[in-house]
Amino acid sequence: MNITLNGQTCWAKPGETVLNVARREGVNIPTLCHMSNFSPTGSCRICTVEVENGNSLVPSCAYPVYENMVVRTNSPRVRRARKTIIELLVANHPQDCLFCVRSGNCELQKLTQEYGVRTHRYQGERRRARIDIASPAIERDPEKCILCGRCVRICHESQQVGAIDFVHRGFKSSVAPALERSLNTVPCIDCGQCVVNCPVGALTEKSHQKQVWEAINNTDMLVVAQVAPAIRVALGEEFGTDDGAVVTGKTVSALRRIGFDRVFDTNFSADLTIIEEATELMHRLEKGGPTPMLTSCSPGWVKYLEHYYPDLLNNLSSCKSPHEMQGALLKTYYAKKIGVDPSQIYVVSVMPCTAKKYEAQRPELGGEYPDVDAVITTRELARMIRAAGIDFHKLPNQGFDDPLGESTGAGAIFGAAGGVMEAAIRTAHYYLTGGTDMKSLTFSPMRGLEGVKQAEVTIGEQTLRVAAVSGLTNVKALLDDIRAGISPFHFIEVMACPGGCVNGGGQPQPATPEKLLKRTESIYQIDRESPRRNSHRNESVQQLYTEFLGEPGSHCAHELLHTHYVERDEF
């Protein structure tokens, strides 16, 4: 069909919204509540446009096109309406932009500038609420909430957790957990998808910057950083690089200039995780253990299983997540190697994930000392770099410290959904064939942004049925099949965040599908360009087993690298 958009005739498909057509035609319409691929709500009304033959203002994100429709997106009436909406939002918003964590990267702030809101036209009572800081991973400031509902939709539609929702009506409307409780008292999985999709500062990560700076300033401590795979393809965005730019060397350099004594690569322990998981899977297949085995790298996913499917915890791999393995080795193997007391080593994980903050304080992960002392997100690291006065673009490229700094391409692809499975298949092939590597290391069925990917792979005489899932809305059917005893799979990878760690709750904002795609492409680029692409070919990991662990799945390996999980009440 044809419609007229700002005086120009253009084509449109039945069922499309005005917003979709406008964006395809290069017409920018501002939004706050809109989320691509999610159900439209039209709640914020910022995307208001004028439909001429109806002489009415409508939300373009939720209004379908029709034949011969006449739309104006920039009429005086539209501009006045949008400005009034912005003024009303600002009138009910705390005026703390100078010290808000989203200052300079706030969608509401950007709109006030674009539409010339320079005064407070509307005065009166403002919503008041208490800040919720009890969660170990996420802070919630209801006074900053603009009721766009993006956090609610991501929590319900993408994650199927429903830890937050709209409560009350009218002026008292707010977004909160059930009965307005704290996030740490409801089955929130701390994935941070609400945080990365919030347009303002109503939801933020629980900052560990203060503790990290204090540790760096303590001359009695050896402060060690480790860097997750997804950090190196996202951190540059905070400093204006192209989306998905690989900035591994500059990240290492920045951490050293901030004051870290050692910088290691979490990809090392990703390689280690693959060897331990592959060994565990083969043991289950040979001995008849619970299958399908479920991966345990994503702490948000692990917490989801503990809350909603505790009867399937035996299917969960007992392996710790890679950064927890790294922390355990730093305070045992590495501490002994350099002659430093473990109590003097302070381990900081730089992660794309808010759930890692929750994970680090779990009592199951650590002995006399916690495996990891603090977790900072990609965003927090960027703030620390700025606070240290470092020009990121002028940093030289530096390498990680040894021996926990060597990694392979298989460790790098942990950052993308399906990467753990692909890396595991490479090593499983090596073990099941008696020491032969796969001829082609690219396992295409596990690549891409689909929520569920399935495949069969024949290795020698063994046929493995595998799946990779990202975004928890996609995992329920698979878990129900396991519970019913009809699952055809041997091994299932699950990542809580859609697209995997490249789209973690601690990554740069705003999160867009285009950024996610670029980061994923860069992850696989790192793999392609790596001199070694199989986890079992990591020479430092081989040395670790020879000097310290013994063999994969050994008693020592289980003591340090494996753990257990617990059933949690839903409420």
Give the DSSP per-residue string, 145-206. -----HHHHIIIIIS-----EEES-GGG-EEESGGG--GGGTT-----HHHHH-SSSSEEE-
Q: In the numeric block, which tokens belong to residue 560?
A: 């340090």
The total number of residues shown for the chain amounts to 571
pLDDT at residue 571, as a whole number: 47
Quickly state the pLDDT bin for 127 (edges 50, 70, 90).
Answer: confident
pLDDT at residue 75, as a whole number: 92
Neighbours of 174 (CB within 10 A): 16
Report the relative pairing of strands 452-459 and 165-167 from DSSP bridges.
unpaired
Q: Starting from the edge strand earliest in sequence, which strands make up the sheet with 2-5, in order?
A: 8-11, 2-5, 70-72, 48-51, 56-59
Angle between helices 419-432 and 266-287 (to 10 degrees): 60
- Residues 560 and 381: their CA atoms lie apart, in Å, by 28
Quickly state the pLDDT bin for 570 (edges 50, 70, 90).
Answer: low
Residue partners of 85: CB distance under 8 A and separation at least 6: 44, 45, 46, 48
Query: What average pLDDT does this structure show over 464-469?
Result: 94
**Is the pLDDT confidence value at 10 over 50?**
yes
Going by the DSSP 8-state scheme, the letter that residue 227 receives in this structure is E
Query: Which CATH number is correct for 127-206, 3.40.50.1950, 3.40.50.1000, 3.40.50.300, 3.30.70.20?
Result: 3.30.70.20
Going by the DSSP 8-state scheme, the letter that residue 401 receives in this structure is P
Of the listed ranges 94-108, 119-133, 214-228, 301-315, the least confidently predicted one is: 119-133
Q: What is the CATH number of domain 210-561?
A: 3.40.50.1780
Instruction: Fill in the amino acid letter for 93.
Output: H
pLDDT in tens, 501-537: 999 999 999 888 899 999 999 999 999 999 999 999 9
Instruction: Give the percent of the chain with pLDDT over 90.
Output: 82
Q: In the numeric block, which tokens belong to residue 178?
A: 């059930």
Query: What average pLDDT does this structure show over 388-408?
Result: 95
Angle between helices 378-387 and 248-258 (to 10 degrees): 50
- Residues 189 and 355: their CA atoms lie apart, in Å, by 7
- Residues 163 and 549: their CA atoms lie apart, in Å, by 41
21-47 CB burial, b ≥16 within 10 A, e <16: bbeeeebebbbbbbbeebebbbbbbbb
Q: Coil, helix or strand for 440?
A: coil
Q: In the numeric block, which tokens belong to residue 2?
A: 């044809």
pLDDT at residue 362, as a whole number: 92
Q: In the numeric block, which tokens belong to residue 230?
A: 């997804």
319, HSE (Cβ side, Cα atoms, 13 Å): 29
- Residues 247 and 235: their CA atoms lie apart, in Å, by 7
Helix or strand (DSSP H, E) at 422: helix 419-432
Burial class of residue 448 in the structure, from the number of CB atoms within 10 Å of its CB (0-12 exposed, 13-18 middle, 19+ buried)? middle
Q: In the numeric block, which tokens belong to residue 506?
A: 């601690």
Instruction: Fill in the amino acid letter for 52.
Output: E
pLDDT in tens, 136-158: 999 999 999 999 999 999 999 99
Residue partners of 346: CB distance under 8 A and separation at least 6: 215, 218, 221, 222, 223, 224, 373, 374
The neighbouring-strand residues paired with 264 are 226
Q: Coil, helix or strand for 134?
A: coil
Q: Where are the domains of the chain?
A: 2-88, 127-206, 210-561
Query: Which CATH number is correct for 2-88, 3.10.20.740, 3.40.309.10, 3.30.360.10, 3.40.50.150?
Result: 3.10.20.740
Q: What is the pLDDT of the chain when averaged over all its residues?
A: 93
**Is the pLDDT confidence value at 564 over 60?**
yes
Q: In the numeric block, which tokens belong to residue 205?
A: 């990560």
- Residues 251 and 227: their CA atoms lie apart, in Å, by 8
Cβ 224 vs Cβ 348: under 8 Å: yes
Query: What average pLDDT does this structure show over 268-278?
Result: 95
pLDDT in tens, 243-254: 999 999 999 999
Report the relative pairing of strands 345-351 and 374-377 from DSSP bridges.
parallel
Query: What average pLDDT does this structure show over 461-490?
Result: 92
**Is the pLDDT confidence value at 54 over 80?**
no
Residue partners of 112: CB distance under 8 A and separation at least 6: 86, 90
pLDDT at residue 389, as a whole number: 96
Plot region of 197 (φ>0 → left; ψ -120 to 50 → alpha; else → beta): alpha
Q: Which of 72, 56, 55 is nearest to 18 (CA)?
A: 72
Report the relative pairing of strands 2-5 and 70-72 from DSSP bridges.
parallel
Q: Coil, helix or strand for 403?
A: coil
Catalytic site positions: 277, 280, 297, 317, 356, 359, 364, 501
Q: Coil, helix or strand for 328?
A: helix
Q: Coil, helix or strand for 298?
A: coil
Q: Which of 63, 52, 50 is nearest to 20 (CA)?
A: 63
Q: Coil, helix or strand for 311?
A: helix
